[in-house]
Amino acid sequence: MTGGVQQTDEIVGQEHWVSKRTSDGEARLFTWRKRTPAQPERGTILFVHGSSMGSIPSFDLQVPGGPSVSAMDYFAKLGYDTWTFDHEGYRRSRGSRDVSADIPMGADDIAAVTDYIRATTGVEQVLAYGVSSGALRAALFTQRHPERVKRLALDAFVWTGQGSRTLEQRRLRLAEFEASSRRPIDRAFLTTIFTRDHPGSASDDVIDAFIDTVLAHEDSVPNGTYLDMCRNLPVVDPHQIRVPTIILRGQYDGIAGFDDLLEFFKQLPNPDKQFAVMPGIAHGSFTQKNHQIVKHTLAGFFSQPEPVYAGEE
């Protein structure tokens, strides 16, 4: 189901509502699409958000009076059809169910959204990008449904959690997270996303716009991904991810252990794979001062030609 439309001189944005079947009936997922109709489409990108905020702050952030940091605007101008959505339990997909919104449920959400994209546009495969726990959700979805993903980008990803400073700190609060299905968020907490790893890697105006956009719709978020990342890793098997994959790791990111990622990378079976270290970047790469590096790297991966020679067995 479609909803409100936003249009600039180049880009059209439109909200959609995706129905997901659950044991309690249907849940409605807010879904957001941006594209430039005048350009030929180069592919369909699906952006998957992380644990502590919804889709718009993550991928379509607008900074009043500042330069654009929106990943959706950037890729729409390149000719991609871009989509994102709020996982059940988040932001405009909050709904009435008390859900943990864990990683397997997030993969279910992606399945519902890709069903909708296919029914709406006829596109069978998406270019999938996930960040932090969104990377785990996107990876698990790809493991379950490799036929639906053309290329996979995992940013701020964790596999076993080894070497993750952030997860070490979160495990100290595991009993607190287990006591409730949700946790409160406020300006002080959201500020720590930008200060815990490397203060100064994001601009103050971007930080303020991000926090304002998050708090406009949310004062709490589900705990499911925190619990999974603290006690249930690994939730993804690299041997079962057979599509072309890029691992993106910010230089200062405290959640993505370097050796953990390298071991995951080595076990990916598809030879079409890349590992990119992004200089000067901490967590939440699209909101960092060096966000153009992330977009450039991702655009190169998503537009890479298919190999004409695959070697001999």
* 16-43 pLDDT per residue, tens: 999 999 999 999 999 999 999 887 789 9
**Domain presence at residue 313:** no
What is the number of structural domains in the chain? 1
Question: What does the pLDDT read at residue 2?
Answer: 62
* 276-309 pLDDT per residue, tens: 999 999 999 999 999 999 999 999 999 999 999 9
**Domain presence at residue 203:** yes
* Beta-strand pair 149-155/245-250: parallel
**Domain presence at residue 312:** no
Q: Do the Cβ atoms of 133 and 256 come closer than 8 Å? A: no
DSSP bridge partners of 25 = 22
**Domain presence at residue 123:** yes
Find the mean pLDDT for residues 113-134.
Answer: 98
E-assigned strand segments in the chain: 2-7, 12-22, 25-35, 43-48, 80-85, 126-131, 149-155, 182-184, 220-222, 245-250, 273-278
Average pLDDT, the chain: 95
Which CATH number does the domain housing residue 156 bear? 3.40.50.1820
**Domain presence at residue 311:** no
Which residues span the domain enclosing 253? Answer: 2-302
**Domain presence at residue 307:** no
> Is residue 1 very low, low, confident or very high in pLDDT (cuts 50, 70, 90)?
low
Q: Do the Cβ atoms of 238 and 267 come closer than 8 Å? A: yes
Distance in angstroms (rounded) separating the CA atoms of residues 187 and 220: 12
